[in-house]
Structure 1
Amino acid sequence: MNWQIFKKDVEAELHKNILNYWMKHMRHMNGGVYGEISNDNIPDAESPTGLVMTSRFLWTYSEAYRMTERPEYLEFASELYNILISTLTDPDYGGFYWLVDREGKPVDDKKVLYGQAFALYGLSTYQMVNPSVETEKLCSRIFAYLEQYGRDRDKGGYYEACNRDWSYGGVNNLGADDMACEKSMNTNLHMLEAYTRYYLQSRREDVREALVSLIRIITDKIYDRSTGHQKLYFSKDWTPAGDVESYGHDVETSWLLWEALQILGDENLQVEYRETVLRLLDVSSAKATAPDGSLYNEKHDGHLDRTRIWWVQAEYAVSLLNSWEMTGIEDYLHKLEKLWDYIVNVQTDRKNGEWFWGINDDGSVMNREKGGMWKTPYHNGRACMELLHRIEKQEKINV
């Protein structure tokens, strides 16, 4: 691996093709972002504003400023912060709405824990780059809501959703393609992600306790040691449902789990879960890496979905480099080089900018929006920032 060349490529992808794209094409004239944008860069001014989308943008540009100190990134992050506070906040019960229309009226007022977690993820990162008493109090309140109403103190883990008043919300599905359930891998994974960042920012002991508890839930209840994959959908007592292998989520969990363990700084926990971290990547990589180096999407009900989804490639790249850092095994770097070649030559839209939502197995582009409620600069922007952080570590080692 030529780290110098790789670094230049990743920097160009991050700043010119990803972060610049969203500020240029998705930024709303009244602040924040449009709710959706097409593949040919036409924004939809009438589409609603989602909590996940807004929080992911807030995290991305806060983290980009934390990494580079470029003032334009902090300026955009501050716009997104203001939209989150002024438009998505529930003034009566606290927390945030899941979805509002362009006038700020709730379209879906449920307290979906996945969304609340992303709000905490974005806000705690914004607090790191633009600290204020108000933001710190808001982070503390969100954490308190999640712990009081969202955490299952009996069976462990976190529920899918609460009603607007934070009463138990029963089954919920995040999207049309998801199974309605009481608990899910996806929600608990992103709770882990949010709590990792909030612990890094706050160093609170109660956040640390909750984070360790999440690690135990993911490795004991969600991760299936017999297959090396995670189960996706569960009842309240962790009875699994459905038959899905989500390769993108497995590789994403691999590096996010290791990140949490490193930030906790507990060497005994790192030793305990090191094998799980590596196996989550290795099993999916062996089973689902395409001949072109990309990663297939998933397997459901015995059917292999060979589409190449943007976020799956982004998380695969980070996980490969993370596993190389952990082991020194060169095969991880070889796979990363091949994957990166696929990303820049196929997954990236060289005509209009950013990455395509997905590529079909025959190489054609999937007919999906360029950006919207789910597709933001969070996955691929974060992947590039993670790659750069790790490349810079190698540069220091090799000086």
Structure 2
Amino acid sequence: MNCLRESIKQELINHILPFWMNLKDEQIGGFFGEVRYDLSVNHEGDKGGIAASRFLWSFSAAYRHTGSEEYLDCANHAYSFLKNHLYDEEFGGLYWLLDYKGCPLEDQKHVYTQSFGIYALSEYYRATGNEEALKYANKLFDLIEEKGFGADNNAYKEELDRQWNELPNEKLSENGILAEITTNTHLHVLEAYTNLFNASPTERMRERLQNLLDIFYEKIYYKETKFLGVFFDRNWNSILDIQSFGHDIEASWLLDDAIKALGLEEERYNQMVIDIAYNIASTAVLEDGSLANEEVRDERDLTKIWWVQAEAAVGFQNAYQRTNDEKFKGIVEGLWAYISGNIVDPREGGEWYWSVEADGTPTERSVAEPWKTPYHNTRFCLEMMERLDD
């Protein structure tokens, strides 16, 4: 495993982070919004609200784990952009999308975006001790709880306008449906609250994080099949026959992180984490070592998406640590072999491909854009380095 750790560490410090550091926009702020498939930089690409938060989290986490000043410089740069351009001082919250100059293009306040703001700001606080960043994180927490939570159905809302009036959830729906509740948003609120609780715990935060665990166990996790639901109406009825393999295995370790942060010893939660991992291991790991993307109405998508592979490796490593089952260790090794041989872009100036098609060819899609940032693969590397140390 030491060889595995070293290989992953080298990928992070010599390949992933240098690629993103080179996109720092010194003139306007933030980071350039698009690198096309041919590796040309679009200096006028849009700068996503989620992307800006993910840049801040990635460089803050890299600095907290390594102490490297070059990552701190990028984290400070990302924080300045988020505070000065992304945060709406009039109505509160973070915008969905900015243009390349840092002006709002789409001013919706999606709960998903706010959660990434909390995740990033709390990580920046953990890395630097910046009290202002913690205040912004707590402002976003209060806004989500006040404006973005429905007590009537015990669910977090999705898309809202600039003034926090609810809108149809076009941003996080797909396959021809409009979902009033998504597992994706709940998962990233959980992720954000866990990090904020680790940074600066309060009893209110503990209660809200505990409630999220209960939501997952009671509403999202299907105890019969061991899958998670994906899209729901406002009464928590599933509205699409879909299994999202990447989200399930990502959820298994993020749920476990929340359990550990709260210091819980509840067998039902622990078993949920383990059962999800065993289920995805048995249903979605492919012969080449990769993880399938999803299955919609019994039609399986065999595209190998970068974030799915990264999150799967962390999820299965977590399962190995939970169970000591060598099966999971072998899956992790197979995933890294697939990632390093197929997802990592070997071209000069490349990073990771967005995905690899079922036939093994890279998808010709931008390698940096509002949804693709250093977050997933930086986190994979940092998590694996720490877990393999343990």
Q: TM-score, normalised by structure 2?
A: 0.96
Report the equivalent of 1:357.
354
Contact preservation (8 Å) 2:173, 2:179: no
Bigger mean CA deviation after superposition, 222-231 or 113-122: 222-231
**Equivalent-residue separation in structure 1 for 2:158 and 2:200 (angstroms):** 25
* Counterpart code for 2:283: K
1:301 aligns with 2:292: no
* Counterpart code for 1:23: M
1:371 aligns with 2:368: yes
Compute the RMSD of aligned alpha carbons.
1.4
Contact preservation (8 Å) 1:37, 1:372: yes
**Equivalent-residue separation in structure 1 for 2:173 and 2:149 (angstroms):** 22
SS at match of 2:150: coil
Bigger mean CA deviation after superposition, 176-185 or 296-305: 176-185
Residues matched between the structures, number: 388
1:343 aligns with 2:339: yes
Report the equivalent of 2:230.
232
Report the equivalent of 2:330.
334
Spell out, residue by residue over 1:237-287, the C-alpha distance to the aligned partner (whole angstroms, 9 max, x if none). 1111111110000000001000110111122x3x22111111112112211
Contact preservation (8 Å) 2:220, 2:229: yes
SS at match of 1:230: coil
How do residues 39-188 of structure 1 correspond to structure 2 at under 5 angstroms? 39-174=37-172, 179-188=177-186
**Equivalent-residue separation in structure 2 for 1:319 and 1:313 (angstroms):** 10
Equivalent of 2:387 in 375, 387, 390 = 390
1:276 aligns with 2:236: no
**Equivalent-residue separation in structure 2 for 1:340 and 1:244 (angstroms):** 26
SS at match of 2:30: coil
Spell out, residue by residue over 1:351-371, the C-alpha distance to the aligned partner (whole angstroms, 9 max, x if none). 233211100111111111101
Per the TM alignment, residue 380 of structure 1 is displaced from its structure 2 partner at its CA by 0.9
Q: TM-score, normalised by structure 1?
A: 0.94
**Equivalent-residue separation in structure 1 for 2:304 and 2:100 (angstroms):** 32
**Equivalent-residue separation in structure 2 for 1:161 and 1:199 (angstroms):** 25
Contact preservation (8 Å) 2:33, 2:44: yes
SS at match of 1:245: strand
SS at match of 2:295: strand
Q: Which runs of 5+ in 2 are unaligned?
A: none
Contact preservation (8 Å) 1:318, 1:387: yes
Q: Which runs of 5+ in 1 are unaligned?
A: 394-399
Contact preservation (8 Å) 2:290, 2:304: yes
Bigger mean CA deviation after superposition, 55-64 or 86-95: 86-95
**Equivalent-residue separation in structure 2 for 1:308 and 1:388 (angstroms):** 23
Question: CA, structure 1 residues 178+27, in 2 after alignment: closer, same or farther (shift >3 Å)?
Answer: farther
Per the TM alignment, residue 87 of structure 1 is displaced from its structure 2 partner at its CA by 1.1
Per the TM alignment, residue 316 of structure 1 is displaced from its structure 2 partner at its CA by 0.7
Contact preservation (8 Å) 1:347, 1:356: yes
Per the TM alignment, residue 18 of structure 1 is displaced from its structure 2 partner at its CA by 0.8
Per the TM alignment, residue 171 of structure 1 is displaced from its structure 2 partner at its CA by 3.4
